[in-house]
Structure 1
Amino acid sequence: MGRSMSGQTRTPAKGVETSAERFQPEHLAGGMGTDIEAFAERLENYLEPDQINLVRRAYYYAEQAHDGQTRRSGEAYVTHPLAVAHILADMHMDHQSLMAAMLHDVIEDTGIPKDALVTQFGETVAELVDGVSKLTQMTFETKAEAQAENFQKMALAMARDIRVILVKLADRLHNMRTLGALAPEKRRRIAKETLEIYAPIANRLGMHSLSTEFEDLGFKAMHPMRSDLIHRAVRAARGNRKELLNKILDSLQNCLEREGLPGKVMGREKHLFGIYQKMRGKRKAFHEIMDVYAFRIIVDKPDTCYRVLGAIHSLYKPFPGRFKDYIAIPKANGYQSLHTTLFGMHGVPIEIQIRTEEMEEMANNGIAAHWVYKSKDEVINGHHARTRQWLKGVLELQQNAGNSLEFIENVKIDLFPDEVYIFTPKGRIMELPKGSTPVDFAYAVHTDVGNSCIACRVNRRLAPLSEPLESGQTVEVIRAPGARPNPAWLSFVITGKARSNIRHFLKHQRHSESIALGERLLDKVLASFDTNLGAIPESNIKQVLKDCKMELMEDLLADIGLGNRMAYVVGRRLLATEPTVDSADSASKKPAATEPESTAEKPLAIRGTEGLVVSFARCCNPIPGDPIVGYLSSGKGMVIHQENCSNLAENRHSNEKTLHLTWDKDVSGEFTVELKVELVNERGIIAQLATGITMADASIDKISVDERDGRVSVVQLVVRVRDRLHLSQLIKRIRALSGVMRITRLKN
């Protein structure tokens, strides 16, 4: 982009007609006056004379600013902005967009400041040019972080004025049409970026024509031989099918005339990249894809669409389940049409799209058609509102994302909308990406609904929160006050909104919980010196924060809670008996001759509800009643082990890292235990075992059976219990089963 692309001199790709070539009768060495006049004539179709004069003035300003700059082909550089303006004129964009297209490289390539453009052309045009210039500075080398950062800039620019991205898309399209002179490596990089970012954005904005051209040009640059091979195969297939194609087209046209329905029928070409994707993704042979005949019928109004559908269904039998009504329920990008597949003559499948002229314009130009139909509010508002809604969602993702890579990962999911349509209990339709779950649906309704979701009903039956939804289902979210997102949801949610909100909530929850744990750990240390945090002088606190390079006490407490700093070391510093050490993990640098912690202090009590910063070790699975110790793991918080856990052998004598704990008398929750049961092989013994566990009011998380010999089986169980008393009741019940020989609790 910028000088790296449009600013470089180059020649058009062989066999590619550029916008500039299409509309320029000749290339003039001494100026481009003839070309701008030809362009001005085109604009008379839809712009006012004073608006055309403004576009003309922007062109001459750009021509003067770029004076002496050339493209690699030897043409004056101004041919590029003029070609970009031609692409936007094809979409009937407004005069301000065309002016911005003419001037889009002026700020970056000629050093003219934004203020000069404000004086000459007004604030709006200058803002558009500035927005495009900022996008043009994006370098997109191979570093994923840089690409993600730049994509964030694009999202912000789109949100401020959607025309910024439209000018940028037109700029990128002309650059793609004239890639030929670049080095192969650079050509592939630009093509890859176009396929990954620009084509999906064009598609998401409903601009089908732009999106397909991006895909075909990108495909040709990335895989020239594959593209050429498919192109030749399509041309050959087209020649072989011409007769049958014309017969079907005539029969459809005659059917409309017989029924007195106004409409024109046209054949519809599949684009090369689409064929390639189907061959790769769906494992289909070329002839399978080309054996489907595709047509489009354009009519005058929506009512006629349905009448035409009835007429052609009486002409050819429809395929069951292959009808889609995108007029009543438009796609997320505003696309509207009726789709049906028919059994044609000789049994060939015929795909048909039926739509109005306005829908055709919307399908091809998407959000750009907003400016074409600005007199028809119902058309604008439907599509413009959808785009605004999407952009609002993009900004929300940006605010919640932990970093730019997480942001781009989430947005990329939402750029490929293969949708399902879900109903709320009140009949409102929600569009979600294919594969979405009830949790995705809950977050699509509202962030608070997602955060407090505990269960759901799909078509009035209770269903798992991880179950993929299907179009037409009615989903009801069951909420509970005080409920919060489950980290396990991240393993199955699909939408960027759900993913980013869950991560955002957990991050803040983790922060607040780490502060609370850090405070408890620090208070415990200070209590051993017969003091507390409230009694520490303010000057001592400020000095310790300065040494730790922190501004707030909360951040220091959070660091302690996450195990990044030792509570004992921080406590000694606060008491001004510890020398200043500028290191997060200063425990290793503590002098050997320090006072030992008081043996009279009470162990820290664990309730089992501490949340994300206190976890229970899977090696020994401690439960209430077991003697326990806590181990502070950097970045993870406190991990609780049984006192005799062999994994703690090396760290047991490290006062800074391990601390003695006790269970709170009000401990709550369920805890995991692993059991090994040896039993005699008898019919139904596993079912008896499962029933016995359920009768003991415990639940099974996991079960595996290993047959030792023909007579004995070893069953390993992971079960959930409340405490040691509950576990002993469970073991007693299992021992009472007739086939059970031995039962052991596994540790380590």
Structure 2
Amino acid sequence: MSVLERSPESPAVADLLERVRTYLPEDRIELIADAYEFAESSHDGQMRRTGDPYISHPLEVTKLVAGLELDQPSLIAALLHDVQEDCDVPNEEIAERFGKEAAELVEGLTKLGSLPLRVTEEEGGGVQAQNLRKMLLAMAADVRVVLIKLCDRLHNMRTLYALSDDKQRRIARETMEIFAPLATRLGIWQIKWELEDLAFRYLEPERYQEIATRLDATRLARERYIEDVAAGLRVQLDDARIEAEVTGRAKHIYSIHQKARRYGREAKSFDQIYDLLALRILVKDVAGCYAALGVVHATWRPLPGQFDDYIASPKASMYQSLHTTVIGPGARPLEVQIRTYDMHRVAEYGVAAHWRYKGSSDRSAQDEERIAWLRQLLEWQRELSGAEEFVESVKTDVFDDQVFVLSPRGDVLDLPTGATPLDFAYRIHTDLGHQTIGAKVNGKMTALNSPLQNGDVVEIMRSRSRSGPSRDWLSENLGYLQTTTGRQKVRQWFRKQRRAESIER
């Protein structure tokens, strides 16, 4: 009996297949339906802590995977992601029934599922480092494994209320420290925002409720304001003969909390946090983006220092948009994002766009760039001597906020916020870092411990006669190096020197 012939008590299955049909050809549907039947049979009698039949979990995860428009093997693996571990179904049977590709994804998910990414102090950094390595290696091998894992984590966060307080806090902390930043780095904003909000709800429930209540109290007034502003802007864009879609942008509780904390030191009120009032403009092409920006700035006065061009300098996740903040009607700050429809799709799907069903297996060079940072991290991993150093490197060099700087040739490099020209040099090459004697930023001589800003052009001055790095570079007070990898490369140089001196003695 096929899924479509099932009794009407399972409308969610029909909803899933209906969603999948919007982007997959009909000949791919039957095997997905078979996978659902197999999962339902395998999980028969199992219940979740919420009181729902267990099959509800893989089904909801697969709906999220379908929302990313991933391919048929990904959908099958999402439906079957717990049958190997929870139902003792051999991976060989999955391969025989549903194909080798889906079976390999299930195997990867099974291995990831058993890795606690936050560990107790007793277990130590070595366990956490090993588990992070395994997750990152799984991503490097096939990023679909982690995309499905993110969907799995999102549904588990949606149903976290059924667990004990201790488990809620532990899982929420792991989500905030590992999974939400990972979704950020992969550029999957629709998952990132919800993971952050859900984790924040359990980690700081009082603060979460305070922001939610204040947002709710001002929602109608804000929505009216945005509707009026959007209508006025549409008229201006029409007059300029720019075809555009103008909408209000969703407000997210955790991002508001972050901005409130940042702006609190400046004595700004809740209503002044820019993200409370936000517009998004979608146009057909890049020329339309800059033309729309001109209309926005001609209509309202831009706020100094609040413009970012991520079209000219995309983020590491390949995110592109123009960001500006203007003084809107009523002297209220209004944040505006401008992007093309293609850029919007990448912003929503991120690295998942690499695996969306395209009718072929071709992958572009740009697709490969999306996870180049990951392969680079795994290269550094081999150079890092200690487990704790690797964990710190992942958290600071991968999951921190980023600045995007350029080499003199125009290559874009991403570094953690606060990184210096010396960090830049070590990112380019270890030997360049060791031989650095100075730096120019935007054509001007700059101290090696000066923090870099978005869009800086950095030129490193080197001396091949220089014997090696300075010990001052390791001083936290002097601030020469902000990245773990840069500091570790300097430490390695001095360790090698000590070994050489011991041998000579």
CA contact (8 A) 2:275 2:335 kept: no
Q: Aligned equivalents of 1:239 and 1:379: distance in 2?
A: 45
Selected match of 1:142 from 120, 132, 142: 120
Q: Aligned AA for 1:494?
A: Q
**1:562-577 to 2 correspondence within 5 Å?**
none
Matches within 5 A, 1:30-429: 34-139=11-116, 140-143=118-121, 144-145=124-125, 146-283=127-264, 284-289=268-273, 293-372=277-356, 374=358, 381-382=365-366, 384-429=367-412
In structure 1, the residue corresponding to 2:241 is in which secondary structure?
A: coil
| RMSD, aligned α-carbons | 2.7
Measure, in 2, the Cα distance between the counterparts of 1:378 and 1:319: 43
Measure, in 2, the Cα distance between the counterparts of 1:322 and 1:426: 26
Q: What amino acid maps onto 1:397 in structure 2?
A: W
Structure 2: state its 5+ residue gaps. Answer: none
Question: 1:397 touches 1:410 (CA, 8 Å); kept in 2?
Answer: no
Cα displacement string for residues 518-542 of structure 1 (whole angstroms, at most 9, x for unaligned residues): xx3xxxxxxxxxxxxxxxxxxxxxx
C-alpha separation in 1, matches of 2:362 and 2:430? 29
CA distance in 2, matches of 1:344, 1:378: 45
Give the direction of change, closer, same or farther, for the CA distance of 1:509–1:137 in structure 2 (3 Å limit): farther
Any unmatched runs of 5+ in structure 1? 1-23, 521-748
CA offsets per residue over residues 26-54 of structure 1, 9 Å max, x none?
A: xx9x9976543332222111112232222
CA contact (8 A) 2:474 2:490 kept: yes
Q: What SS does the corresponding residue of 1:353 show, helix, strand or coil?
A: strand
Q: In structure 2, what is the equivalent of residue 493 of structure 1?
A: 481
Q: Distance in 2 between matches of 1:256 and 1:184?
A: 51
Q: Secondary structure at the match of 1:298?
A: strand
* Stretch deviating more after TM superposition (239-248 or 73-82): 239-248
How far the C-alpha of 1:194 sits from its partner, in A, is 0.4
The whole-number CA distance in structure 2 between the counterparts of 1:512 and 1:164 is 44
Q: Offset of 1:226 from its aligned partner?
A: 1.8
Give the distance between the partners of 1:512 and 1:48, measured in 2 at CA: 64
SS at match of 2:243: coil
SS of the residue corresponding to residue 484 of structure 1 reads: coil
CA drift of 1:277 comes to 1.5
Matched with 2:460 is 476
Provide Cα deviations, 1:681-726, integer angstroms capped at 9, x if missing partner. xxxxxxxxxxxxxxxxxxxxxxxxxxxxxxxxxxxxxxxxxxxxxx
Structure 1 CA distance, aligned partners of 2:8 and 2:429?
Answer: 57
Shift of 1:56: 1.7
Asked if the contact 2:442–2:456 (Cα under 8 Å) also holds between the matched residues in 1, the reply is no
Partner SS for 2:273: helix
Q: Does structure 2 conserve the Cα–Cα contact (< 8 Å) formed by 1:152 and 1:404?
A: no
Verify: 1:433 aligned to 2:410, yes or no.
Answer: no
Q: Deviations over 1:579-626 (max 9, x none)?
A: xxxxxxxxxxxxxxxxxxxxxxxxxxxxxxxxxxxxxxxxxxxxxxxx
C-alpha distance in structure 1 between counterparts of 2:9 and 2:140, whole Å: 35
The answer to whether the 8 A contact 2:406-2:456 is kept is: yes
1:69 to 1:31, Cα distance in 2 relative to 1, 3 A = farther
Higher percent of residues as strand = 1
Structure 1's 67 and 96: CA in aligned 2 closer, same or farther, altered over 3 A? same
Larger RCO, structure (CA 8 Å, separation 6 or more)? 2
TM-score by length of 1: 0.62
CA distance in 2, matches of 1:399, 1:31: 55
Distance in 1 of aligned mates of 2:392 and 2:286: 38
What amino acid sits opposite 2:270 in the alignment? F
Aligned residue pairs, count: 490
**Pair 393,500 (structure 1): closer, same or farther in 2 beyond 3 Å:** farther
Amino acid at match of 1:354: I
Name the structure with the higher helix share: 2
Give the whole-Å Cα distance in 2 for the aligned partners of 1:274 and 1:320: 22
TM superposition shift of 1:173 = 0.3
% identical aligned pairs: 41
When normalised by structure 2's length, the TM-score is 0.89
Shift of residue 391, structure 1, vs aligned partner: 0.8
More divergent stretch after superposition (303-312 vs 70-79): 70-79
